[in-house]
Amino acid sequence: MNVSEIIRTKRDVREFSSQPVSKEDKLAILEAARMAGSGLNSQHWRFILIEDKSELEALARLSTTGEWVAGANFAVIILTEKNRPYHALDAGRALTNMQLEAWNRGIASCIYTGFREAEMRKRYGIPEKYSIDVVVGFGYPARKIVGKKNRKPLEEIAYSNKFGQPLNIK
Ligand SMILES: Cc1cc2nc3c(=O)[nH]c(=O)nc-3n(C[C@H](O)[C@H](O)[C@H](O)COP(=O)(O)O)c2cc1C
């Protein structure tokens, strides 16, 4: 797939098959995160890899909006230094790289942002300096992905020159 195809076809998937993801693929996904740009090239993200079934189940128990992660093949907790004003943007760039790299390899993923923060910090030893931005679960999709993305028309979200002014691309 080329980049356009990956962007256009990628869906967020919450149900995974039991097919294992190779070490090589996991490494490539983490490397894709490492290749992301960050403000001032500060590279302040940190990534915690969770692979064991029992650990994925424990991660799910600490979640409020991502219980499906129990069925993932592996998950990554993405952290950034919270005093950096652009830290969420940096987390998002690393996350997107990972999800697109995975999709290119036939591996699906989804993210969640709801979790019991204090318990997460304790279990994974996460210092206060770091924000727990997002958890992303990966695996081969449980079934063939059907249906189109549900997205607003471009005219509704993109303007020319001024907020609300109709898009008029030259
Ligand atoms: C900032 C953000 C937060 C999200 N939080 C959750 C979440 O807590 N739990 C969850 O299951 N999905 C979460 N999602 C996934 C979205 O529901 C998903 O990206 C959206 O439905 C589009 O899916 P699609 O690309 O397959 O159409 C989140 C996505 C984003 C971008």
Residues of the chain with pLDDT under 70: none
Q: Is the CB of 111 under 6 A from ligand 1?
A: yes
Centre of ligand 1 to C-alpha 13, Å, is 9
Q: Which long-range contacts (CB under 8 A, 24 or more apart) does 17-20 make?
A: 17/139, 17/140, 17/141, 17/142, 19/73, 19/139, 19/140, 20/73
85 CB-near residues (< 8 Å, 6+ apart): none
Residue 131 to residue 115: CA distance in whole angstroms: 12
Distance between CA atoms of 130 and 127, rounded to whole angstroms? 6
**Is residue 113 lining ligand 1, measured as CB closer than 6 Å?**
yes
CB 68 within 8 A of CB 12: no
Helix (H) or strand (E) holding 135: strand 130-139
Ligand 1: atom nearest CA of 11 is 26
Nearest CA to ligand 1 atom 4: 112
pTM of the model as a whole: 0.97
Q: Is the CB of 110 under 6 A from ligand 1?
A: yes
Cα 170 to ligand 1 centroid, rounded to whole Å: 33
Q: Output the pLDDT for position 146.
A: 82
pLDDT of residue 69: 98
Which residue of 113, 132, 133 sits with most ligand 1 atoms within 8 Å of its CB, as the best mutation to test the pocket?
113
For position 71, what pLDDT does the model report? Answer: 98
d(CA 77, CA 95): 10
Question: Hey, whose CA ends up nearest to atom 31 of ligand 1?
Answer: 111
pLDDT computed for residue 148 by the predictor: 87
pLDDT of residue 147: 81
**Which is nearest to 136 in space by CA: 84, 68, 81, 83?**
68
